[in-house]
Amino acid sequence: MSNDAISARGDLRLTRITKSYGDFTAVDDLTLTIPKGSFFALLGPSGCGKTTTLRMVAGLEEPTVGSIHLGDTDITTTRPYQRPINTVFQNYALFPHLSIFENIAFGLRRRGIKDVKEQVDKVLNLVELPHLAERKPTQLSGGQQQRIALARAIVNRPALLLLDEPLGALDLKLRRQMQIELKWIQREVGLTFVHVTHDQEEAMTMADTIAVMNEGRIEQMGSPADLYDNPETAFVANFLGQSNLIKARIEGTDGDNLVIDIFGQKISMPKKRSHAVDNSMYAGIRPEKFRISLVGTPTRGNTLTGGHIEDVSYIGVSTQYVVAMPWGQELMVFEQNDDGVAPFDKGDEVVISWEPTFTFGLRGDEDVDAGTEVNPEEPAEE
C-alpha cells in the first residue's frame, strides 16, 4: 500500500490529529481538509504547532493519534520518501556539499530519473537564477537560497508542497516581492501549496484559504475576506487586523436581525453573524467600519452616543481616533481622509455609527484580549 502512496493525488485530509511530546500537546485534535490545487495558509503565532503539523504531513513526525489521507490513500505512517510531498524548510536546508544544480536534481535522481538537465534548467529559469547552477549554497544570498530551496521542491511536481515560514529570514522588501512571486509560481505550476506563517498580512495576500491556528487547534478556516469580515473567535478577530469588542446582551430578535443592548443603547445585527451561544455576547466592529459624527448631525445604521474624542493620530491616508465611551471603554476608529471633512479634535462630543451588517457577534465568555499580545512581526523562533 505504501508503495502506491507516491502516486497518490487529491485533497489532503487531516483527521483528528493529536501530537504529544510527553505531557505537552503540540497539536490538539486537529481536523483539516486542504483542497487540491489551492494556496492554503496555516497562520498562527510562534509555538502554536504549525511546524509540527507540517512535519506530520511530510512524514518527519508521526501523529500520536489521528490519520492523514492524501486523496483516498492513508499516508499516516508512510515514510517521508514514499510520499508525493516536498518541503521548503524554514532554514532552507540546502545540501552544502552539492552544487545548486545537484541540489535541485537530488529528488529527480533519487526517483531514478536519468535525464535531469532539462527539468532542472526549466525550474532554475522559473526562479530566475539559471546562472547560479554551478555555485555552492554558501555562495548564495538568503533570498537566492530561498528560491533554490523552492526550486528543489517544485522540480519534483509533488501533489503537495509544504512551505515552513519560507520568507521568515528575508528582509521586509524582499519578503513582499517574494510573496507576489510565490503566488505567481503557484498559479504557474498548479500545485497545492501549504504555506505556514505567523504573519497575518502575508497569509492574507497570498492564500485562497487560511486556517488560523492557536495552541494546537484550528480556530477558524476560510477565505481571507471571510476571516476578516466575520471572525468567529476573539483570537481571530484580534490576530487578523484590529477589532473593537464591546460587551453586549442579546435582547431579542427582529426578523433576520438580533436586537442587542450595549450599556443601555440598542443596536441590531444579522442573526447569522452571531456566534454567541446564549444571551451574553461581544459585539465586534472593525475600526474602519465606524463613522464618527458630531452630536446633532444625522447618522445612519447603528449608533452609539455619549462618546468624546480622546486621541487623534493623523497617518496620511487615514486618521486614527480613540473615542472614549460612557462605559469606560476606548474604541478605535479609522477614518479615510478622502471626504474633505475637517478632522475631529480632541475633546469633541461625537456619535459613532456603522452599518448593522458589519457587526459580528462573539461568545460572551471569550477572552477579549486573545490574540492581541502576540506580535505577528516578531521573528520566528528556531
Ligand X SMILES: Nc1ncnc2c1ncn2[C@@H]1O[C@H](COP(=O)(O)OP(=O)(O)O)[C@@H](O)[C@H]1O
Q: Write out the residues near another protein by the rule CB under 8 A.
A: 58-60, 79-81, 85-87, 89, 91, 93-97, 106-107, 110-111, 136, 138-139, 152-153, 156
Residue 150 neighbours by CB under 8 Å, 6+ apart: 88, 127, 163, 166, 182, 185
Tell whether residue 87 is a contact of Mg ion (CB under 5 A): no
**Residue choice 34, 41, 51, 227 for contact with ligand X (CB under 6 A):** 51
Q: Does position 59 bind ligand X by CB under 6 A? A: no
**Residue 93: contacted member of another protein, ligand X, Mg ion, none (CB under 5 to 8 Å, by partner type):** another protein
What strands, in cross-sheet order, belong to the sheet with 209-214?
Answer: 85-88, 160-164, 192-197, 39-43, 209-214, 217-222
By beta-carbon proximity to ligand X, the closer residue of 24 and 314 is 24
Between CA 84 and CA 103 the distance in angstroms is: 18
Three-class SS of residue 327?
Answer: coil
Per CB under 6 A, 21 contacts ligand X: yes
Stretch that binds ligand X, among 28-36, 39-47, 111-119, 313-321 (CB under 6 A): 39-47
Is residue 156 a contact residue for Mg ion (CB under 5 A)? no
- 200 in contact with ligand X (CB under 6 A): no
**51 forms part of the interface with Mg ion (CB under 5 A):** yes
Q: In what order do the strands lie in the sheet with 302-315?
A: 291-294, 349-354, 302-315, 318-324, 330-336
Span interacting with Mg ion, options 49-57, 199-207, 323-331, 367-375, rule CB under 5 A: 49-57
The correct pick among 20, 33, 38, 46 for binding ligand X (CB under 6 A) is 46
Rounded-to-integer distance, Cα 185 and Cα 126, Å: 8
CB 170 within 8 A of CB 146: yes
Smallest gap from Cβ 382 to Mg ion, in A, equals 8
List of residues 6+ apart from 255 with CB closer than 8 A: none
Q: What is the per-residue binding string for Mg ion in 284-323, x denoting contact by CB under 5 A?
A: ----------------------------------------
Shortest CB 83 distance to another protein, Å: 8
Vertex 28 angle, CA 275 and 37, to 5°:
80
| Amino acid sitting at position 181 | E
Pair type for strands 39-43 and 192-197? parallel
On the CB side of 126, CA atoms within 13 Å amount to 24
For residue 32, the minimal CB distance to ligand X (Å) is 14
Tell me if 81 contacts ligand X by CB under 6 A: no
Binding site for ligand X (CB under 6 A): 21, 24, 26, 44, 46-52
